[in-house]
Each structure stands twice: as structure tokens, then as C-alpha cells.
């Protein structure tokens, strides 16, 4: 195979893969947002499953690795896109190949069943139902570490699937920084007991909906290259780079949830919309990692839209729509969108405590993978960790160890990405603020200078850079948790302890 033949073969495979992915995303979007007939759901699920399987089979064909090896032999002649493509696909191919076929298939069947069982187990708060599945999932993950191989800690092998280059050494130092600074800060805040008033009332859904174009335009989401749908659990999906869709949900009694979840999904969507078109052909039109993707959504949601500057422009908009805010001032709104208190459910956690929920999962997963702790002890260990880190114990299993779908879906090593991603965002913003007046941009309702910086340094790069390379190139240093810890300390000390 010549170099050109190898490139052409990969381009063709990627093109077909992209087309299959597009079809699958449309089927999913339809089912999630359009209220399709209930009876069609099984066929749709089967079609998505078939598309995924066909995509995987085509990718794993022998000519893929032949093309990759041909190109690896002429590395010096490849441009940036070609090198990144070989790296990303070579690694994915070899990892997938390392898993014995029958083990892989058995695990797919196991997790499909486990997710259905988890739904019931969570509702019934029945850990006995779930325990045998978790045991099998973690047994498989331990074997997976060996198949993948690792240098230091077995968990490193799993982490890399979600967060390229992440390892226990890096995460231990990240979480110990949080343990040292954020855990005591939270304790001080609880002791002070001066929580702001909650935004509580009924907010007409049609009026909530009217706010959204203003909000998505403020964020810089290009509505002409996407669509906004309504669903129960918001998500963002890329059909093509010129059709990046977001979803939002409305609850009459929870206005803030619609606002902030929309901004969150805008952050993901803007990342995709700002990618360089050349990435598509090379199969690299996605985030550098899950964490880097999450860094963008949380940067827009928290660092921009939970800032005081943003509440200054948000308040008049709210007052225009809802009498409820008639007597509010900027200060009280700012405090109310920044409630900080221990809670039991990760996905509902506030900005200060969110990463502490992830810390609980990280510390348990790490020991489950090595076998230092047993699946049968999880409910108690989970509750103990919540008490130790957040100061509260779950009242039920649904509010405790059974709250997340991840383990039943076979995602082990996934959780830390949420927290490090949030921290990458702080490191990026720390660099941005050296050249851009962030507060002035927000108050002027024109954050395009911030988005332009992110486009140049993060979005346009897609998967051509690892998170570490991306941070080094854009901020001048590798991941440093200090920026996140400093940001949280400054913001929440000012809010609660001054």
C-alpha cells in the first residue's frame, strides 16, 4: 500500500463513518425531541445499534491497520491533520483489538441488561438487585486494564479512554488540592449559615421560552447552523459542523434550570460550530477529550453566566418577563444563582460542590479497580465518603450509590473528566483575562472577544491536540489545578465569608 492509497482508504472509511454517524444522530434527535410513536422506539433503537455495529466492523477491518502502519512508517512526511488522524485511529484500533471478541460481546450484553435493571433498582432502592451486575462490570474492567496495559496504576488504562493522557498521579494531585482548600471552605460556608434566598415561584413556560433566543445569541450559538429542541434531559448533538443542535427543558417551577442548562449546552455546541472544517475529513471533528468539551460548557455556564457582570444584564431581562423579579437587585440575584451548599445528587450540585461529588466517585473507583474495596461494601463506603467530604449522608440508595447510570453502562474512569474539565476552564480563563476585559465584555453583552480566543486556541483544533498539548500551547503550562482552586476560593469567599 502506498502512502496515498493508505490516506485515501482512511478518508473513505471516515467519510462512510461520518455518514453513518449522521444517520444515527438524526434517528436519536427525532426520537428525543419530536415525540415519535412509542411503538417505533424499539426499531429505532435496533437501527442505531446496527449502525454502531456496522461502523465498528468497517473500522476494525484488516485494511485499516495496514493503512495506519503504512502511514506510521512515513510519519515525517505527514502534516498535522494526518499525524493526528494516525495517532487517534491507531490508538483506538489497537485498544479495541486488545479485547477478546467474545468478552467484548458478552460485556455489551451485560451492560444493556444492567442499565435496565438499574432503572428498577434505583426506583426500588434495592442494592441487592444491582450488586451482581456491578461485580461483573468491575471484574471486566480489571481484565480490561490488563488487556490495555499500563505502566503505573491499572486505573490509568481506563482513564485514558475518556481523558487522553490522564492518570492517577495527575488526578491524585488535583483532588488533594480540592480536599485541602475546597472541603474546608465549604465547611466554613455551612458554619456561617448565610445562604441567599432561593428563586421560588411559578414562571410561565411560554415566557421562559421567549428568553432563549436572547440567551443563545448572547452566548454566540449560531442558530442558523443548528436547532433548539425541547426534551426531558438536555443534550447537544452534532449532525454536521453546520448543524449542531441543542436541547433545553422547561419546568414551570424552576426557571434557572432552563437558563443554565441551555447555556451549558450552548458551550458544547459553540465548540463544535467553531471547529475547522478540515477536521471532518480526518475524523477529528470532536473535542480534544471529554474533559475539554466539558470545560467549554462549564466555562459558559459558570464562569460567564454565574458572574456578577452577567446578572447585571440578566436582571432587566427577567424583570421584563416576570413580575416576580420586580423588587430584586443585582446583588441578590448574583447571590441566588450562586447558592453553595452540600447536596446528595451530583447532577443537581452547585458550582462550588460539583467536583466534590466527583471526588467521591474517583476515590471509590480507583480502589474498586485494584480490588482494595469490594462492590458489596459500596453503599456504606459511598455514604461514609459523602459524610467525610460533603458533610451529609444519603437518606436513600437512590440519593446515594444508585444515582448514576455510569457503572451499569460500563463507564468506569468517566467521572473524573467532569471535574478536570471544569478546572481546565479556569486555567483557560486565567489566560484569557490577561488580554481581554472579561467583565466589560459581559456587561456590554458582547462576549465575542472571549469566544474568538477560544475558537483560535481550543475549538478550531478539534482532536489534533491532546488536553495537555492544548493547555501548554494556549496557557503556556500543563494542567495546573491551582487556577480552579483560586477561582473558587476567591468567588465563594467573597460571596459568603466577607
Binding residues for Zn ion, per CB under 5 A?
297
Chain centroid offset of residue 348 CA: 14
Structure-block grid coordinates of residue 211? 428568553
Least CB distance to Zn ion at residue 57 (A): 30
Least CB distance to Zn ion at residue 340 (A): 20
469: left (phi over 0), alpha (psi -120 to 50) or beta: alpha
Neighbours of 227 (CB within 10 A): 14
Structure-block grid coordinates of residue 410? 460500563
Considering only the C-alpha atoms of the chain, give the largest distance between any 2 of them, rounded to a whole number of Å. Answer: 73
Residue closer to Zn ion (CB basis): 154 or 234: 234
Least CB distance to Zn ion at residue 239 (A): 18
Helix (H, G, I), strand (E, B) or coil at 236: strand
Least CB distance to Zn ion at residue 421 (A): 8
Helix (H, G, I), strand (E, B) or coil at 368: helix
The b/e string for 434-455 (b: 16+ C-beta within 10 A; e otherwise) is: eebebeebbeeeebebbbebbb
Residue closer to Zn ion (CB basis): 141 or 297: 297
Residue closer to Zn ion (CB basis): 82 or 301: 301
Residue closer to Zn ion (CB basis): 297 or 302: 297
17, 58 Cβ separation under 8 angstroms: yes
In the residue annotation, 151 being an active-site residue is answered as no
The β-bridge relationship of strands 243-248 and 226-230 is parallel
Residue nearest to Zn ion (CB): 297
The secondary structure element, H or E, covering residue 243 is: strand 243-248
295, 483 Cβ separation under 8 angstroms: no
Side-chain-side CA neighbours of residue 129 (13 Å): 19
From 212, 321, 304, select the one nearest 259 (Cα to Cα).
212
Least CB distance to Zn ion at residue 293 (A): 7
DSSP for 29-80? Answer: HHHHHS---GGGHHHHHHHHHHHHHHHHHHHTSHHHHHHHHHHHTTGGG--H
Least CB distance to Zn ion at residue 232 (A): 16
Least CB distance to Zn ion at residue 264 (A): 6
Least CB distance to Zn ion at residue 120 (A): 27
Q: At what angle do helices 127-148 and 154-162 cross, to 10 degrees?
A: 100
Residue closer to Zn ion (CB basis): 64 or 297: 297
Residue closer to Zn ion (CB basis): 64 or 426: 426
From 235, 240, 250, 246, select the one nearest 277 (Cα to Cα).
240
Structure-block grid coordinates of residue 293? 468539551
Least CB distance to Zn ion at residue 104 (A): 27
Q: Which of 82, 163, 265, 363 is catalytic?
A: 265
Residue closer to Zn ion (CB basis): 236 or 390: 236
Instruction: Sort 60 into a burial class: Cβ within 10 Å, 0-12 / 13-18 / 19+.
Output: middle
Residue closer to Zn ion (CB basis): 55 or 273: 273
The CA-CA-CA angle for residues 219, 211, 232, to 5°, reads 85
Residue closer to Zn ion (CB basis): 274 or 297: 297
Asked whether the CA dihedral 217, 221, 225, 230 is positive or negative, the reply is negative
Annotated catalytic residues are: 265
Amino acid at each position: 500500500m502506498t502512502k496515498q492509497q493508505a490516506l485515501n482508504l482512511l478518508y473513505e472509511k471516515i467519510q462512510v463513518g461520518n455518514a453513518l454517524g449522521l444517520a444515527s444522530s438524526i434517528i436519536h434527535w427525532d426520537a428525543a425531541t419530536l415525540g415519535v410513536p412509542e411503538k417505533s422506539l424499539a426499531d429505532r433503537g435496533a437501527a442505531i445499534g446496527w449502525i454502531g455495529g456496522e461502523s465498528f466492523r468497517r473500522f476494525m477491518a484488516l485494511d485499516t491497520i495496514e493503512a495506519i502502519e503504512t502511514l506510521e512508517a512515513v510519519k515525517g512526511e505527514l502534516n498535522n491533520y494526518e499525524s493526528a488522524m494516525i495517532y487517534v485511529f491507531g490508538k483506538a484500533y489497537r485498544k479495541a483489538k486488545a479485547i477478546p471478541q467474545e468478552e467484548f460481546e458478552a460485556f455489551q450484553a451485560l451492560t444493556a441488561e444492567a442499565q435496565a435493571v438499574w432503572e428498577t433498582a434505583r426506583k426500588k432502592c434495592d442494592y441487592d438487585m444491582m450488586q451482581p451486575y456491578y461485580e461483573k462490570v468491575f471484574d471486566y474492567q480489571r481484565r480490561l486494564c490488563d488487556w490495555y496495559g499500563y505502566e503505573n496504576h491499572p486505573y490509568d488504562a481506563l482513564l485514558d479512554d475518556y481523558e487522553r493522557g490522564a492518570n492517577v498521579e495527575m488526578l491524585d494531585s488535583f483532588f488533594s488540592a480540592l480536599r485541602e482548600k475546597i472541603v474546608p471552605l465549604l465547611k466554613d460556608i455551612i458554619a456561617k449559615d448565610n445562604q441567599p434566598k432561593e428563586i421560588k415561584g411559578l414562571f410561565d413556560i411560554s415566557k421562559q421560552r421567549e428568553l432563549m433566543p436572547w440567551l443563545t445569541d448572547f452566548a454566540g450559538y449560531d442558530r442558523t447552523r443548528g436547532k433548539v429542541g425541547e426534551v426531558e434531559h438536555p443534550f447537544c448533538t452534532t449532525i454536521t459542523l453546520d448543524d449542531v443542535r441543542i436541547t433545553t427543558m422547561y419546568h414551570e417551577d424552576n426557571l434557572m434550570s432552563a437558563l443554565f442548562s441551555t447555556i451549558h449546552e450552548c458551550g458544547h455546541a459553540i465548540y463544535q460550530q467553531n471547529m475547522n472544517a478540515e477536521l471532518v475529513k480526518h475524523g477529528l471533528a470532536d473535542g480534544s477529550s471529554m474533559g475539554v468539551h466539558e470545560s467549554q460548557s462549564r466555562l459558559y455556564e459558570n464562569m460567564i453566566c454565574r458572574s456578577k457582570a452577567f446578572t447585571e444584564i440578566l436582571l432587566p431581562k427577567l424583570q421584563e418577563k416576570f413580575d416576580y423579579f420586580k423588587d430584586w437587585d443585582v446583588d441578590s440575584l448574583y447571590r441566588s444563582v450562586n447558592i453553595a451548599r452540600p447536596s446528595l445528587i451530583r447532577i443537581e450540585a452547585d458550582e462550588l460542590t460539583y467536583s466534590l461529588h466527583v471526588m467521591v466517585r474517583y476515590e471509590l473507583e480507583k480502589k474498586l479497580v485494584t480490588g482494595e474495596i469490594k462492590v458489596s461494601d459500596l453503599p456504606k463506603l459511598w455514604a461514609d465518603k459523602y459524610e467525610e467530604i460533603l458533610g451529609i449522608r444519603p437518606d436513600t440508595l437512590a440519593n446515594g450509590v444508585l444515582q448514576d447510570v455510569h457503572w451499569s453502562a460500563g463507564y468506569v474512569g468517566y467521572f473524573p473528566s467532569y471535574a478536570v474539565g471544569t478546572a481546565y476552564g479556569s486555567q483557560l480563563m486565567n489566560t484569557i483575562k490577561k488580554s481581554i476585559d472579561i467583565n466589560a465584555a459581559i456587561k456590554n453583552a458582547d462576549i465575542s472577544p472571549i469566544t474568538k480566543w477560544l475558537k483560535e486556541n481550543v475549538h478550531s483544533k478539534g482532536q489534533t491536540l491532546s488536553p495537555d498539548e492544548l493547555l501548554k500551547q494556549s496557557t503556556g503550562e500543563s494542567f495546573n489545578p491551582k487556577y480552579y482552586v483560586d477561582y473558587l476560593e476567591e468567588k465563594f469567599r467573597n460571596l459568603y465569608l466577607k
